Amino acid sequence: MRILLVSQMYPGPTDPDLGVFVRGLEEQLVARGHDVERAVLDRRGGPKVKYLRLAAATRATSRRFRPDVVYAHFLVPTGLIGALAGGAPLVVTAHGRDVRNIGWLPGIRAATRLVVRRAATVVAVSDYLRLELEAKVPEARGKTEVIDSGVELARFTVQTAPEGGPRFLCIGSLIQRKNVLRLARAFERLGEGSLTFVGDGPLRARLEGRPRIELAGVLPYERIPAQIAASHVVCQPSLIEPFGQAVLEAMACGRSVVATRIGGPPEFVPPEAGVLVDPVDEDSLVDALRTAAALPSPNPAARAAAEKHDVRLQAEKVEAILERAARGPRA
């Protein structure tokens, strides 16, 4: 099967952590014998004209490659670009922000409805996101399936936990949605251990200088498994988390987690693997840190839960959807 992969997020030389979940699925599709070409953006930022360039590159690649199916990540703009690239059937995955943007940014609802109508199948990375999409875009009802991005179990392996502790870790942008300030306050109230933030963002200055809190900055994706191995508990108490990739990767490493109950994590974090919290309840967050730190480390239950989301299994599900779409009519 010839697959044209279109994404506004893909790892590049300057941003090797950008859209690694897209590359992970791509690699598995190639390993399963499919011919994949891509039209992607592989760096953050830049003027909006980059989307016009991506559209031109997508159309040129489609004419040359003549794909059996277009596989786009993100509804708008990438899904729209894929929909307009040619006549090949379209499958598009919604990841979160693309759904939240519907009704918030002018024109996004109309563009998303066009993409959904054009798509043979829409994939949502969590059931939470599916429900939100179907509420905002009724055309998605009956054609949306839930498949998360999965985790590379060979990359994220179980390692011996460090001595001492407890060592807490938070991986993600230092922004309001990630709830990093409330996490820092809850950790300070806990009164023991250390907390490391991996990531950067506008709230960095408000986290600097706090005792027992380390700001590691943005790290290459290849170093994330080692960072997780150096912790006991990984925290992602976001105000909303459409899926929770960092949580799943931590569980694959056998680490207990503290995760938000708003979004995707309740769908894959069992009680034995961690604690789900109301992200705006600081008292509950303090208790969650204490409870998660008392769980085993490594935590076999966390690894077992993560194994159900092996990226190889997720790629098989995506493959079936792509093959079904490729057998369907062209636009």
Q: How confident is the model over 38-46, as a mean pLDDT? A: 95
Closest by CA to 190, choosing from 295, 293, 286, is 286
Note if the bond before 298 is cis, omega within 30 degrees: yes
- Summarize pLDDT for 96-152 with one digit per residue, the tens: 999 999 988 889 999 999 999 999 999 999 999 999 999 999 999 999 999 999 999
Going by the DSSP 8-state scheme, the letter that residue 271 receives in this structure is: G
| Whether the Cβ atoms of residue 18 and residue 5 lie closer than 8 Å to each other | no
Please report the pLDDT score of residue 130 as a whole number.
Answer: 98
With a cut of 90, say whether residue 254 has pLDDT above it: yes
Element (H, E) at 4: strand 2-7
The distance of Cα 111 from the centroid of its chain, to the nearest Å, equals 23
Which residues have a Cβ under 8 Å from the Cβ of 128 and sit 6 or more positions away?
Answer: 242, 263, 264, 266, 267
Q: What is the CATH architecture assignment of 2-150+310-326?
A: 3-Layer(aba) Sandwich (3.40)
Please report the pLDDT score of residue 16 as a whole number.
Answer: 85
Share of the chain above pLDDT 70, in %: 100
pLDDT band at 227 (very low <50, low <70, confident <90, very high): very high
Between CA 301 and CA 46 the distance in angstroms is: 42
| pTM (2 d.p.) | 0.95
With a cut of 90, say whether residue 168 has pLDDT above it: yes
- Summarize pLDDT for 171-226 with one digit per residue, the tens: 999 999 999 999 999 999 999 999 999 999 999 999 999 999 999 999 999 999 99
Q: How confident is the model over 70-93, as a mean pLDDT? A: 96
Q: Which amino acid is at 325?
A: A
- What CATH number belongs to 167-307? 3.40.50.2000
Q: How confident is the model over 74-86, as a mean pLDDT? A: 95
Query: What are the residues facing 146 on neighbouring strands?
Result: 124
With a cut of 80, say whether residue 274 has pLDDT above it: yes
Please report the pLDDT score of residue 106 as a whole number.
Answer: 84
CA distances to 43, 99, 134, 153 from 122, rounded to whole Å, are 25, 12, 11, 26
Fold: same for 2-150+310-326 and 167-307? yes
Please report the pLDDT score of residue 327 as a whole number.
Answer: 96
Phi-psi region of 5 (alpha: psi -120 to 50; beta: other; left: phi over 0): beta
- Summarize pLDDT for 275-317 with one digit per residue, the tens: 999 999 999 999 999 999 999 999 999 999 999 999 999 999 9
Q: Where are the domains of the chain?
A: 2-150+310-326, 167-307
Q: Which amino acid is at 54?
A: L
Cα torsion angle, 77, 3, 249, 263, sign: positive
Please report the pLDDT score of residue 17 as a whole number.
Answer: 87
Q: How confident is the model over 36-64, as a mean pLDDT? A: 96
Q: What is the mean pLDDT of the chain?
A: 97
Please report the pLDDT score of residue 77 as a whole number.
Answer: 96
